[in-house]
Amino acid sequence: MVDQKLKGRVLFEKIGKPTRIVAPMVDQSELAWRVLSRRYGATLCYTPMFHAKLFATSEKYRKEMWCDLDGDTELDRPLVVQFCANDPEYLLEAAKLVEDKCDAVDLNLGCPQGIAKKGHYGSFLMEEWELIHKLIRTLHDNLKVPVTAKIRVFPEQQKTLDYAKMVLDAGAQFLTVHGRLREQKGQKTGLADWDIIKFLRKELPQDTVFFANGNILYPEDIERCSEYINCDAVMSAEGNLYNPGVFNVEHIGDKDKTFPRVDRLAREYFNIIKNECSESLASRKAMKSHFFKLLRPFLPHHTDIRANIAALNAKSSLDEWEQKVVIPVEETVRKIFEDPTIDDTVVTLEKQLWGGSYKTVPYWRCQPYFRPVNGVTADKRVVEELESKKRQAETPLEKEKEKELKLD
């Protein structure tokens, strides 16, 4: 069976050589979101992370997470289905249930959350190489479709390289590297390390299909990442969640495609759920979270709409969502644009030490979210940290110059 399956480059070419990927996210990369993201430039999507044992044994869980439209050849491809697991048999049983509705099955080795630690999966398997090898090999040897894997990095480059080689040796046909440590999550997220991803890309066999994940804020960052690392594709999680237009690299300069207005995107997303993905329970369940993220810069200015979203849930009717959220957002933005003095300009600021530039985006447009910690947002923390490192690196040189001057 292994010899009949598509491998590596052949698989990559068959699914169209995708370069912009929606990351697998818990309850967040479900069907309706994938449909929306493809309209805004995504060329490959991963499902949310599914729990293999529950998917294999619980019909209720499967119905909540998966429906007949998931993996539909017209609506939802190319598609990679991701599972977290620590038992090869349950993993295979779960994967068998979706192998006819996807292009590959992915093993999650990157989830850093507390639930992954408690359940013993994701990045909390990083020290158990024998188990990881068996999980991947079991799928490689027994599935109709290929297996892929998504990993995080160790602090040591060589250990990370050895780890990546083991994953590939086990049978993974694509390798996605998230350039953060297991400890980098939530308030400790920080910058992903593109240098270690670049190191892996250089040291691994050149025919490895290699995806990079981390530090994508704007469409320009995708090309910058691809060129710096020399990867096949760039994956985004939070960048995509707060602004699906982050993938619209072919329309840089067109703010309606790269930083879409929240009223238009809210309507488009709602219509996808209502008209194309109505049978997807996962899409209904995720709707509230997605609206909060899409409207994040908008809601502090219009707290009545935020209160409306907070009062709704997955059991609320679509009519309630439309009347209490979608239409009020549309009416509010319409009034904003009736003001002849409105400044709807997206401004690119000066280049930063991390290699890219921040932008100021009007609050009625989708944009990245910079998580605050102790009142300081992530963008400012990153700048301060990099400037501090730069000063520390310059200090020894300055001392040497002082010595030379004294000697003179």
For the segment 134-162, what is each residue's pLDDT rounded down to a tens digit?
999 999 999 999 999 999 999 999 999 99
For the segment 210-245, what is each residue's pLDDT rounded down to a tens digit?
999 988 999 999 999 999 999 999 999 999 999 999
Question: Quick check: 390 pLDDT over 70?
Answer: no
pLDDT of residue 192: 84
Report, as residue numbers or ranges, the catalytic residues.
111
| CA atoms within a 13 Å half-sphere pointing along the CA-CB vector of 158 | 0
For the segment 110-132, what is each residue's pLDDT rounded down to a tens digit?
888 888 889 999 889 999 999 99
For the segment 96-109, what is each residue's pLDDT rounded down to a tens digit?
999 999 999 999 99
pLDDT of residue 77: 98
Pairing, β 347-351 against β 357-360: antiparallel
Percent above pLDDT 70 for the chain: 88
pLDDT of residue 136: 98
For the segment 256-314, what is each residue's pLDDT rounded down to a tens digit?
999 999 999 999 999 999 999 999 999 999 999 999 999 999 999 999 999 999 999 99
CA separation, residue 17 to residues 44, 164, 288 (Å):
9, 22, 33
Instruction: State the pLDDT confidence band at 408, using cuts at 50, 70 and 90.
Output: very low
pLDDT of residue 387: 58
Question: Quick check: 380 pLDDT over 70?
Answer: no
Please state, as a whole number, how many other Cβ atoms lie within 10 Å of the Cβ of residue 378: 18
Provide mean pLDDT across the span 153-178.
97
Higher pLDDT, 123 or 387: 123
CA 239 to CA 217: how far, in whole Å?
A: 5
Percent above pLDDT 90 for the chain: 79
CA 61 to CA 345: how far, in whole Å?
A: 45
Is the CB of residue 180 less than 8 Å from the CB of residue 192? Answer: yes
pLDDT of residue 188: 44
DSSP 52-100: HHHHHH-HHHHHHH--TTTT-TTTS-SEEEEEE-S-HHHHHHHHHTTTT
Q: Position of tokens 């109709």?
A: 144
Higher pLDDT, 349 or 375: 349
pLDDT of residue 2: 45
pLDDT of residue 79: 98
Question: Quick check: 182 pLDDT over 60?
Answer: yes
CA 302 to CA 296: how far, in whole Å?
A: 10
Question: Quick check: 393 pLDDT over 70?
Answer: no
pLDDT of residue 395: 57
Question: Quick check: 184 pLDDT over 60?
Answer: yes
Is the CB of residue 39 less than 8 Å from the CB of residue 33? Answer: no
